[in-house]
């Protein structure tokens, strides 16, 4: 009889079960909204990145349907062969104007944008200097590039400076940070790092996945928020979170984007978006420009919910964005908290190692513009009840 060569995977899964860290995929039945039916239960949804409620916005929906009727369901090819449709170019033109850069290239996801870009612009002779909490897609891009990776402690600009100062003059180097950190909701040390990049002649790159549609004028991101236009060489954004659809993009100089057209592997070797996705993203840009009250509502909701959690006595870390972690430390406790919240009608995902450090496990909450005050108050009441029950507050 054939021995199962993947047998060790089942053993690893058993270990996760014993540690209380095994997760099954929760199923959203119906639309992805502020309240949703998840695993057949009606819940207040604090787990999505649908910051502005655009996943179900009528304008995006209509434009996606119209594009499907007019252009079909697929692009049929990678961009460099035959998969660049006029609607892809229109989206890139609109995004470049929005971001105030010379050009933009759109990737299939934010992950592909980060990993594809870092690995394309660096070689094994280069150095990348990266915040320890940068997103997995940046870490993978760094590894793929084979450049030397130097990690500095989270937002520790002095340590980043020490690393840079020790490098030989003339060394090509990339300094990289998230604009908003996805697990803690705090902002990257952007002004300080940009100044450092200028002092040491680094390429400066910012991943604005969680800032797109959330920070800056009309959701232009942290570079706009900190008024750093023209000082960041590579800006990554996502179309999968506040934009409500799917994709990632890189904004920068014409030369950078032309280079990525030739060297970024997800661009060269993976099929481009269906026309419906590109159309929905163009509609999302229209909404950001014409319905800025959605961003105002997101921030009102974020302030209300964050101060409610803090008032109850939870440890919400150093969040500065609509992402608010409820940090409990132990991984199994975070999963128990998440499960009890769910049973009481609140969906907030537990997050443990390896996504966060062993002793920093948490439940992560994200409010959206689509939540009503009543829904957020309900969620706070449930947090209060379950937090006391588990001895967290």
Ligand X SMILES: Cc1ncc(COP(=O)(O)O)c(C=O)c1O
Q: Identify the three-state secondary structure at position 47.
A: coil
Dihedral sign, CA of 222, 135, 331, 189?
A: negative
Query: Three-state DSSP class for 3?
Result: coil
Residue 206: CB minimum distance to ligand X, A: 10
Annotated active-site residue 210? The verdict is: yes
Active site residue 124: no
Q: Who's near 270: CB < 8 A, 6+ residues apart?
A: 78, 108, 112
Contact partners, residue 145, CB within 8 Å, separation at least 6: 118, 119, 120, 121, 122, 123, 124, 126, 128
Integer Cα distance of 364 and 361 in angstroms: 9
Residue 119 binds ligand X (CB under 6 A)? no
Q: Is 259 helix (H, G, I), strand (E, B) or coil?
A: helix
Q: Are 184 and 325 in contact (CB under 8 A)?
A: yes
The reply on whether position 321 binds ligand X by CB under 6 A is no
From candidates 207, 224, 233, 375, binder to ligand X by CB under 6 A: 207
Closer Cβ to ligand X, 53 or 141, answer by number? 141
Q: Which of 33-41, 158-166, 203-211, 334-342 is the region at the interface with ligand X (rule: CB under 6 A)?
A: 203-211
Sole window of 52-60, 205-213, 221-229, 375-383 interacting with ligand X (rule: CB under 6 A): 205-213
**x/- binding map, residues 41-80, to ligand X, per CB under 6 A?**
----------------------------------------
Candidate list 173, 210, 273, 371, residue with the active-site label: 210
DSSP sequence for 94-105: HHHHHHTSSEEE
57 catalytically annotated: no
Where does 209-292 have alpha helices with state H? 222-225, 254-263, 265-269, 275-290
| Active-site position among 57, 135, 225, 241 | 241
Question: Using CB under 6 A, which residues numbered 158 to 197 contact ligand X?
Answer: 178, 182
Pick 113 or 202: Cβ nearer ligand X? 113
From 45, 48, 50, 114, residue interacting with ligand X (rule: CB under 6 A) = 114
Separation CA 340–CA 386 (nearest Å): 7
Closest to 216 measured CA to CA, from 136, 298, 318: 298
CB of 241 to ligand X, least distance (A): 7
Within 129-158, the residues that bind ligand X by CB under 6 A are 135, 137
| Closer residue to ligand X, CB minimum distance, 252 or 387 | 252
Comparing every residue's Cβ against ligand X, the nearest one is 110
Q: Which of 63, 79, 210, 340 binds ligand X (CB under 6 A)?
A: 210
3-state secondary structure of 205: strand
Q: Between 108 and 380, whose beta carbon lies closer to ligand X?
A: 108
Q: How many angstroms separate the CA atoms of 40 and 36, rounded?
A: 9
Q: Which of residues 227-266 bind ligand X (CB under 6 A)?
A: 238, 240, 248
Q: Which residues bind ligand X (CB under 6 A)?
A: 109-111, 114, 135, 137, 178, 182, 207, 209-210, 238, 240, 248
Q: Which residues are catalytic?
A: 182, 210, 241
């Amino acid at each position: 009889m054939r021995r199962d060569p993947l047998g060790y995977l089942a053993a690893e899964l058993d270990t996760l079960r014993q540690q209380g860290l095994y997760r099954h995929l929760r199923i959203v039945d119906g639309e992805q909204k502020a309240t949703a039916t998840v695993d057949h239960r009606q819940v207040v949804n604090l787990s999505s990145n649908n910051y502005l409620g655009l996943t179900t916005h009528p304008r995006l929906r209509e434009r996606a349907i119209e594009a499907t009727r007019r252009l079909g369901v697929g692009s049929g090819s990678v961009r460099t062969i035959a998969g660049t449709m006029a609607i892809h170019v229109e989206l890139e033109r609109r995004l470049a104007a929005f971001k105030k850069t010379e050009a933009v290239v759109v990737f299939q996801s934010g992950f592909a944008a980060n990993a594809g870009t870092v690995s394309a612009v660096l070689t094994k002779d280069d150095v990348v200097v990266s915040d320890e909490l940068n997103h997995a897609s940046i870490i993978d891009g760094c590894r793929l590039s084979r450049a030397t990776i130097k990690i500095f402690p989270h937002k520790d600009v002095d340590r980043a400076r020490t690393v840079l100062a020790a490098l030989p003059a003339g060394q090509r180097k990339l300094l990289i940070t998230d604009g908003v950190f996805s697990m803690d909701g705090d902002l990257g040390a952007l002004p300080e790092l940009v100044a450092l990049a200028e002092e040491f002649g680094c390429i400066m790159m910012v991943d604005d996945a969680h800032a797109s549609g959330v920070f800056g004028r009309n959701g232009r991101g942290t570079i706009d928020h900190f008024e750093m236009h023209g000082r960041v060489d590579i800006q990554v954004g996502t179309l999968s979170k506040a934009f409500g659809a799917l994709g990632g993009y890189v904004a920068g100089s014409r030369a950078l984007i032309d280079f990525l057209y030739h060297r970024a592997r997800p661009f060269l070797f993976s099929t481009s978006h269906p026309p419906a996705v590109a159309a929905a993203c163009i509609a999302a840009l229209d909404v950001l420009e014409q319905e800025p009250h959605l961003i105002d509502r997101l921030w009102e909701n974020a302030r209300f919910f964050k101060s409610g959690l803090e008032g109850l006595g939870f440890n919400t870390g150093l969040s500065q964005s609509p992402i608010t972690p409820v940090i409990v430390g132990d991984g199994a406790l975070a999963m128990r908290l998440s499960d009890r919240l769910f049973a009481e009608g609140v969906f907030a995902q537990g997050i443990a190692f390896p996504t966060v450090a062993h002793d920093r496990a948490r439940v992560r909450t994200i409010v959206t513009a689509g939540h009503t005050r009543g829904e957020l108050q309900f969620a706070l009441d449930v947090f209060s009840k379950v937090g006391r029950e588990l001895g967290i507050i």
